Structure 1
Amino acid sequence: MERKNVLIPQADLDRQREFEEKIRAMFASREAHPVACVDTFGCQQNVADGQKLMGMLADCGFTFTQDPKEADLVILNTCAIREHAEDRVFGNLGALTHTKKENPEQVIALCGCMAQEPRVSERIRKSYPHVDLVFGPQALWKFPELLWQVYETHKRVFSVQDEHGTIAEGIPVVREKGVKAWVSIMYGCNNFCSYCIVPYVRGRERSRDPQCVLEEVRQLVEAGYKDITLLGQNVNSYGNDLDLDYHFPDLLADIDKIPGEYLIRFMSSHPKDATKRLFDVMAASPHVAKQLHLPFQSGNDRVLKEMNRRYTRQQYLDLVNYAKSVMPGLVLTSDVIIGFPGETEAEAMDTVSLVEEVGFDALFTFIYSPRPGTKAAEMPDPATRAEKQTWFDKLLEVQNHMSAKLHAAYVGKTVRVLVDGESDDPEFPLTSRTEGNRLVRLKGDKALIGQFIDVTVTGSNTWALYGEAV
């Protein structure tokens, strides 16, 4: 992929602002006040995309609601990683037939990773005639133009061409109120893990210019955001396409130089590209949280090879052992798949034993879900769902015991947290996060929200800590 083909020219971006003005003028001429509902599914990258959609809609004159019945425009911003998420989207699309019936002028759009899958867009075309607009992640930057086409032609619009992917700088963003923000530092994926659809729907890896990332983070810090997460399908390969000899550890080190009171996190990391230098930079950077999400997926070498992960169990263990050695107290989390096609019980128990050996603070665990179009979906899969569930239950048993034990060790200690919101627990009305991203439910006044404070941990369970401000 040639770098010169990646950046969207400024003239093309300016043209999108013209379509925003057309939409704003159209509603103004009707003396209408358009309302949009943006419903986002899936990962934080989707959340970041949803905030860009809201930014463009705000420039078009829209305000926002969470109730589709109140909306003139409903956007389902979708995820294609798991079958369950896909089923929810189709269920929600079906329910929108009723809102469309009550408001025939309502525009319904489907975007995100699901929309980029040919089988999905074709299903929408044939079976969901009330959906007006379908576009994939690569077309997000030209959303105003696509929406204007719907309004102008009163016809359905599909923009799901197989594109290599682009970068569009300067798209407006509507961020959540509070202390947390997300910054995409790169897009796409080159890894082609055999179970994953992402490279097919988000295109090849392309990194944002370091100065653009640094300026965005600087603006967020100045605006008062204090928990900032850098996003990419594989942040560890950031910079490989820039021809600058500038990589993810360099970016982290430069971000750390930005003055202010804040924490930097990142996800996701691929073990094959994680380096000792990355961990050294993390250890030396006060603003970089000593938290690492490093998906290992399987603890068995044969299964890892079938997954096309390109590292071994021992290589993974060597990485986490080094990371722990330079960052004592590191909070380590991971993703795990149980029941990959062809996996045996013994191989699944290799995953369980790795969990026991490493001692993860928490895991995101999944029973394998086949995604059409991936290599793994074509593999023989003799194990039954009941067998996989048994292996999965064993994994959960081990990890829940580990999480409870690790959390119990916090009781009586004083930890520094960022108070980030309110909870529904009247006894502990505040939520906060440690540097390691552990949830701490707090007693205290909501005036503390947005502050770093010291708390004494008074209790714990498998999923959270409980504490009081010092």
Structure 2
Amino acid sequence: MNRKKAAVYVLGCKVNQAEAEAIAQMFSSAGYEIVDFSQKAHVYVIHTCTVTKESDRKCRQAIRRAVKLNPDAVIAVTGCYAQTSFEDVLSIEGVDVVVGTSGRNRIVELVEEALNKKKTVVEVKDISHEEFKSFEELPLYYSKRARAFLKIQEGCEEFCTYCIIPYARGPIRSMPREDVLRRIREITDRGYKEVVISGIRLGAYGRDFNPPYSLAELLTDILNKTDIKRLRLSSIDPQDFTPQLVEVLASEEAVCPHFHIPLQSGDDYILKRMGRKYTTEQYARLIKELRSKRPEASITTDVMVGFPGEKEENFLNTLNFIEKIGFMDVHVFKFSPRRRTPAYSFPDQVPGNVKKERGEKIQELAGKLYRRFASAFLGKTLDVLVEQLKDGLWVGHAPNYLLVKFPSSQNLQGKIIRVKIVDVGDKFAVGEGMF
């Protein structure tokens, strides 16, 4: 008897990636064969993002693509877009199952229900209720990737004026300490060299415990009580860097020296309108401290352009601040009004063409900064975790997240290789393996 096939498509952040892998594992454990999203399958799962209007559009596009691939398949939609706009999702022809950001551990059961009873199934709850205060644990998915993703935190209570995520993800919930340690041991036992720990607001990990238990304490426990070789953090907000956390990041070599710290704007007036909890001076001071303790560290960030009220002067302040900090890379995105957020109705909306122009200017600067950062490693040797063979070259990331390409006739998948950097391209470095 042929096995049923399931395909999972993910949009959005590293948290979504970790959750999508867990969803794939649930279907695999239920006897499904996991196939690429481009193939014909019995079940398609689209794990969605809703951070911008463009994210919503891509979600709808992926849903329609799945329907086109197999009109008879069960189409299941989950994640942030499903949570905040489930009625919009249901209006798309062909959707059979809608699951929000809770209840995903039942997604196989819900898909089977839709399959067997030939009916539409909706599982979208109000995640602000007390019953959703505990962390929803999902299974680990052991893919062929060189690194494993582990989500340890859920939810955000910051309510920045532009952000829909607190409504999509609910309050802060953290994976219990012993569960984190157990899972990391499972990952290392499988041979993974690197674990990326992620969360919606990772820096708030453990604040929901009684007594509170910090991310700094967790990192110390992980490094002392597991055999992990490389530990990478996904994204931490500036205000969440406590002195204890900075000390752990500075003193532990196993923690990768790559810190993604969202900036959003390099202008204090705009930061205040956004409801961010820091100033540019505080941000710059944090980066200076991190670099003084780990000079090899790379800093990457997120920047929003076109926030309501952003005049040319405010934008130029941001552009100059980006150059002053010298990020390795910048993820730039245009402000997108989200219903239920204060900024949705703010006056002084910025025209689309102006947003586009400002975004392009930041992207151009980001390219120059990446090349400048990578060039500092010419002639130096880095430990590269090899992830894939592409176009005849092995590709992987150094601890500082520099993307490195190098040739070799050996099978190096999943190995950490010493590589000497000999050239720099656009958003990557070229190396020679030191065998």
* TM-score in terms of structure 1 length: 0.87
Query: Are residues 95 and 239 of structure 1, via their aligned partners in 2, closer, same or farther at CA, if it must alter by over 3 Å?
Result: closer
Give RMSD over aligned pairs.
1.8
Within 2, Cα distance between the matches of 1:294 and 1:135?
30
Indicate the residue corresponding to 1:4 in structure 2: none
Deviations 1:304-339 (A, max 9, x none): 111111111111111111111111221111111111
Checking the alignment, whether the CA contact within 8 Å between 1:438 and 1:465 is kept in structure 2 is: yes
Give how far 1:377 is off: 1.6
Indicate the residue corresponding to 2:30 in structure 1: 60
Within 1, Cα distance between the matches of 2:215 and 2:147?
21
Indicate the residue corresponding to 1:174 in structure 2: 141
Give how far 1:224 is off: 0.8
Identity %: 30
Correspondence 1:154 to 2:121: no
Return 408-417 or 314-323, whichever deviates more.
Answer: 408-417
Deviations 1:214-264 (A, max 9, x none): 111121112111121111112111111101342000111111124546211
Checking the alignment, whether the CA contact within 8 Å between 2:194 and 2:228 is kept in structure 1 is: no
Correspondence 1:143 to 2:107: yes
Q: Which amino acid aligns with 2:377?
A: Y
Instruction: Select which of 232, 254, 274 maps to 1:287.
Output: 254
Indicate the residue corresponding to 1:42 in structure 2: 12
Checking the alignment, whether the CA contact within 8 Å between 1:141 and 1:168 is kept in structure 2 is: no
Give how far 1:167 is off: 4.3
Within 2, Cα distance between the matches of 1:399 and 1:171?
36
Q: For residue 240 of structure 2, give the secondary structure of its aligned residue in structure 1.
A: coil
Within 1, Cα distance between the matches of 2:224 and 2:187?
14
Correspondence 1:445 to 2:409: yes
Give how far 1:89 is off: 2.0
Give how far 1:191 is off: 1.1
Indicate the residue corresponding to 1:133 in structure 2: 97
Q: For residue 119 of structure 2, give the secondary structure of its aligned residue in structure 1.
A: coil
Q: For residue 309 of structure 2, give the secondary structure of its aligned residue in structure 1.
A: coil
Query: Superposition pairs for residues 211-230 of structure 1, below 5 Å?
Result: 211-230=178-197
Correspondence 1:350 to 2:317: yes
Deviations 1:126-183 (A, max 9, x none): x324211101111212223322331343211111121233546664332321321011
* TM-score in terms of structure 2 length: 0.94
Instruction: Select which of 89, 111, 123 maps to 2:88.
Output: 123
Q: Which amino acid aligns with 1:253?
A: T
Q: For residue 343 of structure 1, give the secondary structure of its aligned residue in structure 2.
A: coil
Unaligned 5+ segments in structure 2 are none
Within 2, Cα distance between the matches of 1:261 and 1:157?
41
Checking the alignment, whether the CA contact within 8 Å between 2:327 and 2:366 is kept in structure 1 is: yes
Q: For residue 430 of structure 2, give the secondary structure of its aligned residue in structure 1.
A: strand
Within 2, Cα distance between the matches of 1:404 and 1:68?
34
Instruction: Select which of 314, 325, 338 maps to 2:281.
Output: 314
Between the two proteins, the alignment pairs up a number of residues equal to 431
Within 1, Cα distance between the matches of 2:133 and 2:96?
24
Within 1, Cα distance between the matches of 2:82 and 2:137?
24
Checking the alignment, whether the CA contact within 8 Å between 1:179 and 1:224 is kept in structure 2 is: no
Query: Are residues 399 and 172 of structure 1, via their aligned partners in 2, closer, same or farther at CA, if it must alter by over 3 Å?
Result: closer
Correspondence 1:436 to 2:406: no
Give how far 1:373 is off: 2.4
Within 2, Cα distance between the matches of 1:259 and 1:99?
44
Q: For residue 298 of structure 1, give the secondary structure of its aligned residue in structure 2.
A: coil
Q: Which amino acid aligns with 1:94?
A: R
Correspondence 1:459 to 2:429: no
Q: For residue 248 of structure 2, give the secondary structure of its aligned residue in structure 1.
A: helix
Indicate the residue corresponding to 1:92 in structure 2: 62
Query: Are residues 235 and 96 of structure 1, via their aligned partners in 2, closer, same or farther at CA, if it must alter by over 3 Å?
Result: closer
